[in-house]
């Protein structure tokens, strides 16, 4: 397997300006004729052979400028087609290939999902349709003629605008689509199938009348309205917030049930995992609604950040992904609640990206080398990439940031750009030197910022000292060079000990932001009559770990009084984390209370709930939610015992449930939706449901019997899937006949609803009990389960391996074995999903010795299996390195 390096980038020797595709759909023998308008690239090497990429293609015919190619002129291997002496002037290659969409289990290229023909081309799937220069810096204008059976594929969709359609012989028809915007092949898409449609119109700020449509499985049209509305809201938001308008006459979204990831931003034809389109109150939770809205927005926003401006090469992936995640986060924050959304973002970052950055798969946001690019669609590229863009806005301020974005879009429109191009736009707009900042893209690992504060009563000054330290991370490209200081924006403020802001100044704090851009620095505030409580990294202004020895009272002050909601939540999290880490480290037994610290936390939360739980239930639910097991493991750092972590967390849950019980029950009553109230998925309604269910969960932890009765009632009578599933999740943690009966009933009720059964699979796979392994093995034989469907694998297997730490890390190694077994069984079918599952082993070096040996043995078994895909072999190789 060869390594691709950023340092080796060279422009393509040839360019393709025009692509005419003629695709004749057939279940097993689809024929594709590609007519490519090529020319030598002035920036390439004159006279070089033309090497087109290919993958699992059958070559039927080839012609050069209308003539058959002579003997020896071309050479075909399984992965390439080479034309040895291409003309050194514009020329036309006509290539006919044949593919089998029905046996395409990798779900890359052209495949069938429930009988629907669809495509996935990013990162390198177009080469599975025809031979091509399959790299993002080769951009062409595509015209696609799609022909298929009228009965099996009444709907035929392509990129761009529809230009013609008609009969194509007995029982067949065709449609022609033309996309005027030059694009790389990874943005190509087509769809053919029997699909239901919902549609609406949107008039852009430029006056363009756009037809929007969402296509779903026939009969599910009623579940597509929310997604349809989210498209229109996304269009309006991007105009309002970034001045970006849509640029075609149609925008289509198609939902399919077999999809390797969430969705794909193909130009004018987004293809979605149906999990992120279909929603009804009876089948989707509030979290589903929020995800649908966010992913619809994300893919739509790619139209500018990704499609109009694309990536020069795959090392620049964060250029589109980090930026687009930032944009969808901002959209959700504007449409919902900004602080609540920020907390959710940080929770995912800490649970997913921080561990990735601390483990064997760590890589810079812009990697310098890869073996398999599909393994780099990571939390680091996406989520840390988004944090970098957010920091840039914090550094420059919103106006300059917006001006920089405008400059970037204008100067790079229609090009395949780099991170340097992006930063140059902001440097030009702000006049700032972004060199130290740009290291965020190059250096892997989560930085730590250690802070200490001292008050000098005589001088009436308060001094904050900051020291940044960066982990040395050895990556594929570099053997762990000494990291250089980063520019870290620290949003901060001072709070008076009794609450209220402190009017103290430091000229180095501008608009509430101090920039730490050397290894160590100090900040002096003058004119203070008492020691303040510092509120640092407000809104989580940088993706770092903060070491800051605040006292318990200082944290309580912040929880009660800080004007930054994120830091109020953070104060509660830190208080809890201290208790949890101490207990887990001490391997403390399961208990009914977590000492005086536990009681102190409960008392503080009681005050908090009394004061304002009803004013912002969504926020209150987050304050009540303890740090997750993965996050606690990161805080401990080494020799992890997942059982000790679970016991620590459970003990604190029991104590909170007991100490807050009456309050939580009262809140549940106060938040009941009035009988017959219409359902709304909006953030306020969802917040009320979240707090009710968080209360149920804690009450049940403390009093399983009373909780079970409540939860059973809720499972039976719930008006929404959110409430039904939350109650079932609570029940799933209480072993016994009531749980088993409720699970069985739920499975029976929803046996025809694959997406609902996925929730049921996931919930059972996450039960933190020794019996779960056998339960999961049993469910793998359930009629609705299939290794061939990525959603099923993610629900049942990935939930177990990635979201059930005590059982994945069973001391006997059986959790590792199950995961390794499924990875190997899956690898032959769908390497991308197999490789993703294998990343569950990411933290294996951090667990205690006995488990570590089992984990390593399982990884070695995977490594030694014959015929591994490049995807899995890359992950296993790096995990063991
Ligand atoms: N760009 C796609 C991801 C493609 C993954 C390829 N293995 C979805 C997105 O980020 O919007
Ligand atoms: Zn994306």
State mean pLDDT over 396-410.
98
C-alpha to C-alpha distance for 108 and 118, rounded to whole angstroms: 9
Q: Is 265 in the pocket of ligand 1 (CB under 6 A)?
A: yes
Q: How high does pLDDT run on average in the chain?
A: 97
CB atoms within 10 A of CB 18: 15
Cβ neighbours of residue 279 closer than 8 Å, sequence gap 6 or more: 223, 226, 227, 288, 289, 292, 681
Q: Would you say 702 and 661 are in contact if contact means Cβ atoms under 8 Å apart? A: yes
The pLDDT of residue 619: 98
Kind of pairing, strands 209-216 and 250-256?
parallel
The pLDDT of residue 662: 98
C-alpha to C-alpha distance for 622 and 573, rounded to whole angstroms: 9
Residues labelled as active-site residues: 299
Q: Is 183 in the pocket of ligand 1 (CB under 6 A)?
A: no
The closest ligand to the CA of 266 turns out to be 1
Cβ neighbours of residue 302 closer than 8 Å, sequence gap 6 or more: 265, 320, 324
CB atoms within 10 A of CB 419: 22
Three-state DSSP class for residue 715:
helix
Q: Is 383 in the pocket of ligand 1 (CB under 6 A)?
A: no
Q: What is the CA(124)–ligand 1 centre distance, in A? A: 11
Tell me: the pLDDT tens digits for 551-580?
999 999 999 999 999 999 999 999 999 999
The verdict on 431 and 462 lying in the same domain is: yes
Q: Would you say 287 and 763 are in contact if contact means Cβ atoms under 8 Å apart? A: no
Q: Is residue 846 part of a domain?
A: yes
State mean pLDDT over 582-609.
97
- 434-to-336, 409, 438 alpha-carbon distances in Å: 32, 19, 6
State mean pLDDT over 370-390.
98
C-alpha to C-alpha distance for 709 and 714, rounded to whole angstroms: 9
In this predicted structure, the answer to whether residue 406 has a pLDDT above a threshold of 80 is yes
Q: Is 318 in the pocket of ligand 1 (CB under 6 A)?
A: no
CA angle, residues 500, 502, 505, in degrees to nearest 5: 160
Q: Which CATH number belongs to the domain containing residue 47 in this structure?
A: 2.60.40.1730
Kind of pairing, strands 190-193 and 116-120?
antiparallel
The pLDDT of residue 302: 99
- Counting atoms of ligand 1 from 1, which one is nearest the CA of 295? 11
In this predicted structure, the answer to whether residue 224 has a pLDDT above a threshold of 90 is yes
C-alpha to C-alpha distance for 275 and 747, rounded to whole angstroms: 18
Q: Is residue 811 part of a domain?
A: yes
Tell me: the pLDDT tens digits for 40-80?
999 999 999 999 999 999 999 999 999 999 999 999 999 99
The verdict on 458 and 511 lying in the same domain is: yes
Q: What is the CA(310)–ligand 2 centre distance, in A? A: 12
The verdict on 394 and 495 lying in the same domain is: yes
- Counting atoms of ligand 1 from 1, which one is nearest the CA of 302? 11
In this predicted structure, the answer to whether residue 674 has a pLDDT above a threshold of 90 is no
Which residue lies with its CA nearest to atom 5 of ligand 1? 122
**Share above pLDDT 70 across residues of the chain, in percent, rounded to a whole number:** 100
Cis bond before residue 630 (omega within 30° of 0): no
Of the candidates 701, 626, 713, 642, the one whose C-alpha atom is nearest the C-alpha of residue 672 is 713
State mean pLDDT over 318-341.
98
The pLDDT of residue 683: 98
Which residue lies with its CA nearest to atom 7 of ligand 1? 374
The verdict on 443 and 583 lying in the same domain is: no
C-alpha to C-alpha distance for 622 and 690, rounded to whole angstroms: 9
pLDDT band at 478; cut points 50, 70, 90: confident
pLDDT band at 509; cut points 50, 70, 90: very high
The pLDDT of residue 523: 97
Kind of pairing, strands 161-167 and 172-184?
antiparallel
Q: What is the CA(255)–ligand 2 centre distance, in A? A: 17
- 437-to-392, 486, 734, 775 alpha-carbon distances in Å: 8, 6, 49, 49
pLDDT band at 848; cut points 50, 70, 90: very high
C-alpha to C-alpha distance for 68 and 83, rounded to whole angstroms: 12
Q: Is 321 in the pocket of ligand 1 (CB under 6 A)?
A: yes
Which residue lies with its CA nearest to atom 10 of ligand 1? 321
Q: Is 554 in the pocket of ligand 1 (CB under 6 A)?
A: no
Handedness of CA 734, 740, 742, 746 (dihedral sign): positive
Which residue lies with its CA nearest to atom 3 of ligand 1? 264
The verdict on 352 and 400 lying in the same domain is: yes
Give one DSSP letter per residue of 755-789, joined into a string.
HHHHHHHHHHHT--STTHHHHHHHHTTSTT--TT-
The verdict on 689 and 584 lying in the same domain is: yes
In this predicted structure, the answer to whether residue 878 has a pLDDT above a threshold of 80 is yes
Which residue lies with its CA nearest to atom 2 of ligand 1? 264
Q: Would you say 380 and 407 are in contact if contact means Cβ atoms under 8 Å apart? A: no
Q: Which CATH number belongs to the domain containing residue 460 in this structure?
A: 1.10.390.10
Q: Is residue 720 part of a domain?
A: no
Q: Give how many domains the chain has, as a whole number.
A: 4
Tell me: the pLDDT tens digits for 433-469?
999 999 999 999 999 999 999 999 999 999 999 999 9
The verdict on 121 and 153 lying in the same domain is: yes
The closest ligand to the CA of 263 turns out to be 1
Q: Is residue 418 part of a domain?
A: yes
Using the 3D structure, point to which of 702, 723, 740 is the last residue of a domain. Answer: 702
- Please give the span between the terminal C-alpha atoms of the chain, in angstroms, as a whole number: 15
Give one DSSP letter per residue of 340-400, joined into a string.
HHHHHHHHHIIIIIHHHHHSTT---SS-SEES-GGGG--HIIIIIHHHHHHHHHHHH-HHH
- Counting atoms of ligand 1 from 1, which one is nearest the CA of 262? 8
For the entire predicted model, the pTM comes to 0.99
In this predicted structure, the answer to whether residue 277 has a pLDDT above a threshold of 90 is yes
The pLDDT of residue 720: 97
Q: Is 261 in the pocket of ligand 1 (CB under 6 A)?
A: yes
Q: What is the DSSP letter of 159?
A: S
pLDDT band at 481; cut points 50, 70, 90: confident
Q: Is residue 214 part of a domain?
A: no
C-alpha to C-alpha distance for 618 and 722, rounded to whole angstroms: 14
Q: Would you say 400 and 386 are in contact if contact means Cβ atoms under 8 Å apart? A: no
Q: What is the CA(318)–ligand 2 centre distance, in A? A: 9
Using the 3D structure, point to which of 505, 540, 575 is the last residue of a domain. Answer: 540
The verdict on 188 and 103 lying in the same domain is: yes
Q: What is the CA(319)–ligand 2 centre distance, in A? A: 10
State mean pLDDT over 399-419.
99
Tell me: the pLDDT tens digits for 723-775?
999 999 999 999 999 999 999 999 999 999 999 999 999 999 999 999 999 99
Q: What are phi and psi of 150, to 5 degrees?
A: -65, -35
In this predicted structure, the answer to whether residue 81 has a pLDDT above a threshold of 90 is yes
Q: Is 300 in the pocket of ligand 1 (CB under 6 A)?
A: no
The verdict on 527 and 562 lying in the same domain is: no
The verdict on 492 and 557 lying in the same domain is: no
In this predicted structure, the answer to whether residue 476 has a pLDDT above a threshold of 80 is no
In this predicted structure, the answer to whether residue 82 has a pLDDT above a threshold of 90 is yes
Using the 3D structure, point to which of 518, 540, 562 is the last residue of a domain. Answer: 540
State mean pLDDT over 103-130.
98
Which residue lies with its CA nearest to atom 1 of ligand 1? 264
Measure the CA dihedral 398/401/402/404, to 10°: 160
C-alpha to C-alpha distance for 547 and 536, rounded to whole angstroms: 11
Q: Is 299 in the pocket of ligand 1 (CB under 6 A)?
A: yes
Of the candidates 829, 819, 803, 826, the one whose C-alpha atom is nearest the C-alpha of residue 857 is 819
The verdict on 555 and 511 lying in the same domain is: no
The pLDDT of residue 549: 85
For a mutational test of ligand 1's pocket, the pick from 261, 305, 381, i.e. the residue with the most ligand atoms closer than 8 A to its C-beta, is 261
Tell me: the pLDDT tens digits for 148-177?
999 999 999 999 999 999 999 999 999 999
Q: Is 808 in the pocket of ligand 1 (CB under 6 A)?
A: no
Q: Would you say 488 and 449 are in contact if contact means Cβ atoms under 8 Å apart? A: yes
In this predicted structure, the answer to whether residue 676 has a pLDDT above a threshold of 90 is no
Q: Is residue 147 part of a domain?
A: yes
In this predicted structure, the answer to whether residue 477 has a pLDDT above a threshold of 90 is no
Q: Would you say 360 and 842 are in contact if contact means Cβ atoms under 8 Å apart? A: yes
The verdict on 782 and 645 lying in the same domain is: no
Q: Would you say 38 and 16 are in contact if contact means Cβ atoms under 8 Å apart? A: yes
In this predicted structure, the answer to whether residue 275 has a pLDDT above a threshold of 80 is yes
Range of the domain at 34: 4-194
* ipTM value > 0.90: yes
Q: Would you say 311 and 327 are in contact if contact means Cβ atoms under 8 Å apart? A: no
Q: Which CATH number belongs to the domain containing residue 835 in this structure?
A: 1.25.50.10
């Amino acid at each position: 397997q060869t390594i691709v390096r950023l340092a080796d980038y060279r422009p393509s020797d040839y360019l393709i300006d025009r692509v005419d595709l003629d695709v004749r759909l057939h279940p097993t023998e689809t024929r594709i004729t590609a007519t490519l308008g090529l020319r030598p690239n002035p920036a390439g090497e004159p006279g070089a052979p033309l090497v087109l990429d290919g993958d699992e293609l059958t070559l039927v015919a080839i012609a050069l400028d209308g003539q058959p190619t002579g003997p020896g002129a071309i050479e075909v291997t399984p992965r390439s087609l080479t034309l040895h002496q291409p003309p050194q002037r514009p020329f036309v290659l006509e290539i006919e290939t044949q593919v089998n969409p029905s046996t395409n289990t990798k779900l890359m290229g052209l495949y069938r999902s429930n009988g629907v023909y669809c495509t996935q081309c990013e990162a390198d799937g177009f080469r599975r349709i025809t031979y091509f220069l399959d790299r993002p810096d080769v951009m062409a204008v595509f015209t696609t003629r799609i022909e298929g059976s009228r009965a099996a594929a009444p709907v035929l969709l392509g990129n761009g605008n529809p230009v013609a359609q008609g009969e194509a012989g007995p029982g067949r028809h065709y449609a022609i689509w033309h996309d005027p915007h030059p694009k790389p092949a990874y943005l190509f898409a087509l769809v053919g199938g029997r699909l239901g449609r919902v549609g609406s119109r949107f008039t852009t700020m430029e006056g363009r009348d756009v037809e929007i449509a969402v296509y779903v499985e026939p009969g599910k049209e009623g579940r597509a309205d929310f997604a349809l509305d989210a498209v229109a809201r996304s269009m309006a938001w991007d105009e309002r917030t970034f001045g970006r308008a849509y640029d075609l006459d149609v925008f289509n979204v198609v939902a399919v049930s077999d999809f390797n990831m969430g969705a794909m931003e193909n130009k004018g034809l987004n293809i979605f995992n149906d999990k992120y389109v279909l929603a009804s109150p009876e089948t989707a939770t509030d979290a589903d609604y929020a995800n649908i809205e966010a992913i619809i927005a994300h893919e739509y926003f790619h139209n500018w950040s990704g499609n109009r401006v694309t990536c020069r090469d795959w090392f620049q992936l964060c250029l589109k992904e980090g930026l687009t995640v930032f944009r969808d986060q901002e959209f959700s924050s504007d449409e919902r609640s900004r602080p609540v959304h920020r907390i959710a973002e940080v929770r995912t970052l800490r649970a997913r990206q921080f561990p990735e950055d601390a483990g064997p798969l760590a890589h810079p946001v812009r990697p310098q080398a890869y073996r398999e690019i599909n393994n780099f669609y990571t939390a680091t590229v996406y989520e840390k990439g988004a944090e970098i863009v957010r920091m840039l806005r914090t550094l420059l301020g919103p106006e300059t940031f917006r001006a920089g974005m405008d400059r970037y879009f204008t100067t790079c429109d229609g090009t395949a750009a780099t991170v340097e191009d992006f930063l140059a736009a902001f440097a030009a707009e702000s006049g700032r030197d972004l060199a130290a900042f740009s290291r965020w893209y190059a250096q892997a690992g989560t930085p730590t910022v250690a802070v200490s504060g001292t008050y000098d009563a005589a001088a009436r000054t308060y001094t904050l000292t900051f020291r940044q330290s960066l982990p040395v991370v050895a990556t594929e490209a570099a053997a762990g060079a000494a990291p250089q200081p980063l520019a870290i924006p620290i949003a901060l403020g001072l709070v008076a000990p009794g609450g209220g802001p402190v009017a103290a100044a430091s000229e180095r704090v501008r608009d509430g932001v101090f920039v730490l851009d050397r290894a160590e620095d100090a900040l002096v505030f003058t004119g203070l009559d008492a020691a303040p409580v510092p509120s640092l990294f407000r809104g989580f202004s940088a993706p770092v770990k903060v070491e800051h020895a605040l006292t318990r009272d200082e944290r309580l002050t912040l929880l009660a009084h800080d004007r930054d909601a994120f830091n109020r939540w953070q104060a509660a999290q830190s208080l809890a984390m201290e208790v949890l880490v101490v207990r887990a480290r001490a391997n403390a037994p399961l208990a009914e209370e977590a000492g005086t610290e536990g009681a102190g936390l409960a008392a503080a939360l009681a005050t908090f709930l009394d004061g304002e739980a009803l004013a912002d239930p969504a926020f209150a639910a987050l304050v009540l939610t303890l740090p997750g097991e993965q996050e606690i493991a990161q805080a401990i750092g080494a020799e992890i015992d997942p059982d000790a972590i679970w016991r620590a967390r459970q003990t604190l849950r029991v104590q909170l449930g007991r100490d807050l019980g009456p309050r939580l029950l009262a809140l549940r009553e106060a938040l009941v939706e009035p009988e017959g109230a219409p359902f709304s998925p909006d953030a306020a309604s969802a917040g009320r449901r979240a707090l009710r269910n968080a209360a149920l969960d804690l009450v049940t932890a403390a009093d399983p019997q009373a909780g079970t009765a409540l939860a059973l009632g809720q499972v039976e009578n719930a008006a929404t899937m959110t409430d039904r599933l939350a109650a079932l999740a609570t029940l799933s943690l209480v072993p016994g006949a009531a749980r088993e009966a409720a699970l069985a009933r739920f499975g029976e009720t929803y046996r025809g609803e694959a997406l609902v059964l996925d929730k049921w699979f996931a919930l059972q796979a996450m039960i933190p009990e020794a019996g779960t392994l056998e339960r999961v093995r049993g469910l793998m034989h359930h009629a609705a389960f299939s290794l061939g469907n990525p959603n099923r694998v993610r629900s049942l297997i990935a939930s177990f391996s990635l979201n059930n730490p005590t059982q994945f890390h069973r001391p006997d190694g059986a959790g590792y074995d199950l995961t390794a077994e499924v990875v190997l069984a899956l690898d032959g079918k769908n390497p991308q999903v197999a490789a993703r599952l294998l990343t569950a082993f990411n933290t294996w070096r951090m667990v205690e010795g006995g488990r570590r040996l089992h984990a390593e043995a399982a990884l070695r078994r995977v490594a030694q299996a014959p015929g591994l895909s490049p995807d899995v072999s890359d992950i296993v190789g790096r995990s063991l390195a």
